[in-house]
Chain A
Amino acid sequence: KAGVTQTPRYLIKTRGQQVTLSCSPISGHRSVSWYQQTPGQGLQFLFEYFSETQRNKGNFPGRFSGRQFSNSRSEMNVSTLELGDSALYLCASSGGQLPGAKNIQYFGAGTRLSVL
């Protein structure tokens, strides 16, 4: 069974540009969550999508958005990039059929974004 796939693995952008990251979940998983990790910080929750709907949202500005397609693949978009957006972005998938206590997150390898 293939794991969670994130593309691209590395990205270099300049301030003001926008970027789109992609995440393909484990087959059969309907929930995809996105996280940001910056140096010295834990994983910060961005948002969760389930069945093409945003079900949960973290405390990030509106420049961070996402969507989920009918095949459960998800994209995250960051517009008007700032230097502080340089981070490792991880996505995770889970069964997530209900807000379930045992919704273990299966993580991808991440996309490392550098904003110059």
Chain B
Amino acid sequence: ILNVEQSPQSLHVQEGDSTNFTCSFPSSNFYALHWYRWETAKSPEALFVMTLNGDEKKKGRISATLNTKEGYSYLYIKGSQPEDSATYLCALNNFNKFYFGSGTKLNVKP
């Protein structure tokens, strides 16, 4: 079992704040790191897939970085909006066997 940890568990920010979360994973035998967003009453949706050390991905106000040597990934949200409220999950893809973290629950107050 590969241990994937996310921090913080939850976060409350004001609209307009920028925020970031961390995903930590074992650095050995790295294959790919996925980020998903899971809104209440919906299905998890993929945000990013990263495979190479130093990868940076961006989608609108959300971006992510990857450090496979030290075993962590950061997710950044710039200028948070209420619609960003969701649980953000990271998952280590180990040859199609996925190990998910427990998620960071983000609440953005208007």
Contacts and interface: CB of A to CB of B under 8 A. Distances in A.
Contacts, number: 69
A31 B96 CA distance: 9
Given A41-B102, A42-B102, A101 B51 contact: yes
Contacts of A103: 93, 96
A96 interface: yes
A105 B1 contact: no
Given A59-B1, A90-B43, A105 B98 contact: yes
Q: Which residue, B1, B97, B98, has most C-beta atoms of chain A within 10 A?
A: B98
Given A42-B103, A45-B98, A109 B43 contact: yes
Contacts of A44: 100
A40 B97 CA distance: 21
A116 interface: no
Majority secondary structure of chain A interface residues (helix, strand, loop or mixed): loop
Interface residues of A, number: 32
Interface string B70-110: 00000000000000000001010101111111110000000
Interface string B43-79: 1111001010000000000000000000000000000
Contacts of B99: 45
Interface of B: 1, 4, 31-32, 34, 36, 42-46, 49, 51, 89, 91, 93, 95-103
